[in-house]
Structure 1
Amino acid sequence: MKLVVAIVQDQDSQALMKVLNKHNVRATKLSSTGGFLRTGNTTFLIGTEDNRVLEVLRLIEKTGKQREKEIPPISPLGGSTEDFLPGYRALVGGATVFVLPIEQFHRF
Structure 2
Amino acid sequence: MKLIVAIVQDKDSQHLEANLVKANFRATKLPSTGGFLKAGNCTFLIGVEEEKVDDALAVIKKTSHTRSQYVTPTFLMPEAASSMADPVEVQVGGATCFILPVDKFVRF
Same fold (TM over 0.5): yes
Q: RMSD of aligned C-alpha atoms? A: 1.8
Q: Secondary structure at the match of 2:74?
A: coil
Q: How does 1:1-108 map to 2 (within 5 A)?
A: 1-74=1-74, 76=78, 82-84=82-84, 86-108=86-108
2-structure distance, mates of 1:74, 1:10? 24
Structure-2-length-normalised TM-score: 0.90
Measure how far apart 1:83 and its partner are: 4.7
Unaligned runs of 5+ in 1: none
What is the aligned residue count? Answer: 106
One-letter amino acid of the counterpart of residue 24, structure 1: N
Unaligned runs of 5+ in 2: none
Q: Deviations over 1:46-100 (max 9, x none)?
A: 00000100000000000000010001242748x9x73555421100000000000
Runs of 4+ aligned structure 1 residues displaced above 6 Å come to: none
Identity, in percent, stands at 51
